[in-house]
Chains A and B, each alone.
Chain A
Amino acid sequence: MTLREIIQLVEGAPLTRVIPWDMDINYVTASDLMSDVLAFAKPHSVLLTGLANVHVISTAEMADVAAIILIRGKQPSDEVIRQAEEKGKPVFGSPHSMFELCARLHNAGMQGADVNAL
């Protein structure tokens, strides 16, 4: 699925300015625990999280997460956006809950990033 299709499904709005809309996304990670993200996230994946601090951006950078979706209308600080842009990690906001977003993406055929872990 392309990033564009994913963002349409989650009714997301871009919070950063450079969006590679046609990038392929193969997996989803959903967690507020950055250690879990570091454990399971894969390249070509999107991260759903309720955490909106700079550690989310660092985690995405370390684990090669392709894009970040902040759930339930969480507003990141300007510093978070600045770092996201500097590190080339597109960030979106979605008004929906984690459960709702996971259901939408799963129903659309997306796989969890932890699908073949362990």
Chain B
Amino acid sequence: MPPIPEFGRVQELIYELQIKQVMSREVATVTPDQSISDLKNLLRVKRISGAPVVENGKLVGIISVEDLIRALSKGEMAASIRDRMTTSLITVNEESTLIEAVRKFAQLGVGRLPVVNDRHELVGIVTGGDINRALLEALGLRYEAEEKHHIVHKNLFEEISSDETSIRLKYAIASKDFGNGGKASSRMKRALETIGVPPEVRRRAAIVSYEAEMNLIIHTTRGGELSVCVSPERLQICTTDAGPGIPDIDKALRPGWSTAPHWICELGFGAGMGLVNMKRCADEMKLESTPDVGTRLEVVIYPQLHT
């Protein structure tokens, strides 16, 4: 049989991934004071074959469908779970790596293990299925990462014949939409990669557009527009908005000058370095603003200067 190239990686992953990265966090549990009859209902509804027993947050036992059958055959469905549960517990710590769970599955012939934290509180449950799924996902992600690495993007401009070619990208930016901050710039950076813009030019353009995008989100009243025009000789990034405008552009360009509200700082922005950063990445920068009318920012990067 030919060697399986992925096998070594699977082994690596088993030693790398932690139980808490693969376990299910939603666990159906019972308390010791519930009855075997309650357990029967739970197992039926959830279609599971056993459940951890939890008292005051701590894992105190485990009870399975076998315990249920035993009680059923004796006609003792009203018995408490406390009297029938297994208290010699085999658990795994959430910080352990997958190999710990894999070993216990093999040694003990069990199909699932309760996962506990350092305080012996139940935090999840891990099954063979969880581990297989996590390994497949991780292999898939790794494969994707390698694929990305190997794709050598052709330069789109070289495939298009015209007297003058340029590609225009447009993104609408909503005011105060911090959750999506950076999304437009991320899409733009990927688009530039597809077009075949060289890495250093892409990086500069992404930094400019990310800072500009955050400015539109933080400062504008009604959002604005980010547009990029790419040709082989020139990359132009423009943002426009409809206010409130910058009262004093010289001050705005001073390193450390900020009018951003304090809480923006907790997101890692608002330190008065945005425009300074843009200028550093730009070959040309123009900023025009009229209070109550709006602001227009234009940055130009010449790819030849950075390759």
Is there an interface contact between A32 and B268, defined as CB atoms closer than 8 Å?
yes
Binary interface encoding of chain A residues 38-69 relative to chain B, with 1 for a CB under 8 A from any of its CBs, else 0: 11000100000101011110110111100000
Is there an interface contact between B211 and A35, defined as CB atoms closer than 8 Å?
yes
Binary interface encoding of chain B residues 57-68 relative to chain A, with 1 for a CB under 8 A from any of its CBs, else 0: 000000000000
Is there an interface contact between B277 and A38, defined as CB atoms closer than 8 Å?
yes
B148 within 8 A of A: yes
Is there an interface contact between B280 and A34, defined as CB atoms closer than 8 Å?
no
A5 within 8 A of B: no
Q: Which of B18, B148, B210, B211 has the most CB of A within 10 A?
A: B210
Is there an interface contact between A54 and B182, defined as CB atoms closer than 8 Å?
yes
Please name all residues of chain A whose beta carbon is closer than 8 Å to the beta carbon of B137 when the two chains form the complex: 17
Interface residues of B in 182-211 (CB under 8 A from A): 182-183, 185-186, 189, 199, 203, 206-207, 209-211
Q: Which of A20, A34, A55 has the most CB of B within 10 A?
A: A34
B274 within 8 A of A: yes
In whole angstroms, how far apart are the Cα atoms of A39 and B138 in the complex?
33
Interface residues of B in 233-288 (CB under 8 A from A): 267-269, 271, 273-274, 276-277, 280
Is there an interface contact between A61 and B268, defined as CB atoms closer than 8 Å?
no
Least CB distance, B163 to chain A, in whole angstroms: 33
Is there an interface contact between B276 and A39, defined as CB atoms closer than 8 Å?
yes
Contact with A35, one of B185, B206, B273 (Cβ below 8 angstroms): B273
Is there an interface contact between B203 and A62, defined as CB atoms closer than 8 Å?
yes
Please name all residues of chain A whose beta carbon is closer than 8 Å to the beta carbon of B207 when the two chains form the complex: 38, 62-63
Contact with A39, one of B145, B189, B206, B280 (Cβ below 8 angstroms): B280
Please name all residues of chain B whose beta carbon is closer than 8 Å to the beta carbon of A20 when the two chains form the complex: 145
Contact with B277, one of A18, A39, A88 (Cβ below 8 angstroms): A39
Please name all residues of chain B whose beta carbon is closer than 8 Å to the beta carbon of A59 when the two chains form the complex: 182, 210, 268
A36 within 8 A of B: yes
Contact with A88, one of B145, B186, B211 (Cβ below 8 angstroms): B145
Q: Is the interface of B mostly helix, strand, loop or mixed?
A: helix
In whole angstroms, how far apart are the Cα atoms of A53 and B263 in the complex?
14
Q: A35-B274, A55-B182, A58-B182 are in contact. Are A63 and B268 (CB under 8 A)?
A: no
Interface size class of B (residues with CB under 8 A): 35 or more
In whole angstroms, how far apart are the Cα atoms of A32 and B267 in the complex?
9
Considering the complex, give the chain A residue whose CB is closest to the CB of B272. A35
B181 within 8 A of A: yes
B21 within 8 A of A: yes
Least CB distance, B144 to chain A, in whole angstroms: 8
Least CB distance, B128 to chain A, in whole angstroms: 18
16 contacts between A and B (CB under 8 A): A17-B21, A17-B137, A18-B142, A35-B211, A35-B269, A35-B273, A36-B271, A37-B268, A38-B277, A51-B267, A51-B268, A54-B181, A55-B269, A58-B210, A59-B182, A62-B203
A residues in contact (CB < 8 Å) with B: 13-14, 17-20, 32-39, 43, 49, 51, 53-56, 58-59, 61-64, 85, 87-88
Additional A-B contacts beyond A33-B268, A35-B277 (18; CB < 8 A): A17-B21, A17-B134, A18-B138, A33-B273, A35-B271, A39-B277, A39-B280, A54-B179, A54-B181, A55-B181, A55-B182, A55-B267, A58-B183, A61-B182, A61-B186, A61-B189, A62-B189, A88-B145
B residues in contact (CB < 8 Å) with A: 13, 16-18, 21, 134, 137-138, 141-142, 144-145, 148, 179, 181-183, 185-186, 189, 199, 203, 206-207, 209-211, 267-269, 271, 273-274, 276-277, 280
What are the 5 tightest A-B residue pairs by CB atom distance, in nearest-first order? Answer: A58-B182, A34-B268, A35-B273, A62-B206, A17-B138
